[in-house]
Amino acid sequence: MSHNALDYATEFSGKTALVTGGASGIGLAVVERLAAGGAAVVIADYNADQARTVAERLAATAKVVATPRIDVSDPAGSESAVTFAVETFGRLDLAVNNAGIGGPALPTGEYEIEAWDKVIATNLSGVFYGMRYELPVMAAQGSGAIVNVSSILGTNGFAGSPAYVAAKHGVVGLTKTAALEYAPQGLRVNAVGPGFIETPLLAETPAPEHEQLVALHPQGRLGQSEEVAELIAFLLSDRASFVNGSYHLVDGGYSAR
């Protein structure tokens, strides 16, 4: 690896990235960061209108397109997102499996079965389905990097969020396993564990009061999507060429307690 000065504007030039859930929050910040670094970016999101609006806004200065509506909890949706990226830009170098939902706030003994199924299908199976179709394309190319978006709740419990916590722990294990399997083929797979980040998901999810959440973070504030996107961009970049199969916190000190 060379140690020339980093050029943010060209760091991802010639690369194609797929970002699930890229229409909002952390995913949107990742789309903006990768596009600013010169990548061609495909946004795959359940909210197709918002994804299209983002793509149109960024298209003036970057190569950003949105797929038709994609549900990551449907394997056919994940497959079509990968196919769309390859058909549009000819290859797939980078993938961020980020789409996720919160689910209701209920203790395990009262958690609705339907809600469990939906959170697991989106937040855990969605990441598996994404990798299921991304990995063969990248393996055939002999290069590629994936970041899966877990959470601080990929390593900590959180009362009232059994499905979310189980799914996010699962994402960490899935990440490590795929990294072991595909390292010999030149691929890297990592996970990130954000603390509580100010996004629409947080606003919509029933959770403790804002001040209580802030108090859990020693830095005395919640995180911003751009702070997560910066770590994801690093993990996707060649600067992280020996970082593989690991889980990286970006949580203002939450997990240090």
Ligand X SMILES: NC(=O)c1ccc[n+]([C@@H]2O[C@H](COP(=O)([O-])OP(=O)(O)OC[C@H]3O[C@@H](n4cnc5c(N)ncnc54)[C@H](O)[C@@H]3O)[C@@H](O)[C@H]2O)c1
Please give the residue ranges that form the binding site for ligand X (CB under 6 A).
Answer: 20-21, 23-27, 45-47, 70-73, 98-101, 122-123, 149, 151, 194, 196-197, 199-202
Q: Which is nearer to ligand X, 27 or 104 (CB)?
A: 27
Q: Which two tokens stand for residue 16?
A: 């194609």
Of 164, 182, 247, 254, which is the active-site residue? Answer: 164
H-type alpha helices, 98-224 = 113-120, 126-141, 162-182, 200-204, 210-215
What are the residues facing 149 on neighbouring strands?
A: 192
Measured between alpha carbons, how far is 43 from 98 in angstroms, rounded to an integer? Answer: 11
Q: Which is nearer to ligand X, 201 or 243 (CB)?
A: 201
**Nearest distance in Å: CB 230, ligand X:** 14
Q: Which is nearer to ligand X, 25 or 104 (CB)?
A: 25
**Nearest distance in Å: CB 186, ligand X:** 26
Q: Can you count the helices (H) and strands (E) in the chain?
A: 9, 7
Measured between alpha carbons, how far is 46 from 23 in angstroms, rounded to an integer? Answer: 9
Measured between alpha carbons, how far is 45 from 34 in angstroms, rounded to an integer? Answer: 17
**Nearest distance in Å: CB 233, ligand X:** 15
Which letter, b or e, does each residue of 198-228 get, where b requires 16 or more Cβ atoms within 10 Å of its Cβ? ebeebeebebeeeeebeebbeeeebbebebb
Q: At what angle do helices 225-236 and 25-36 cross, to 10 degrees?
A: 50
**Nearest distance in Å: CB 30, ligand X:** 9
Q: Which is nearer to ligand X, 38 or 208 (CB)?
A: 208
**Is 182 a residue of the active site?**
no
Task: List active site positions.
Answer: 164
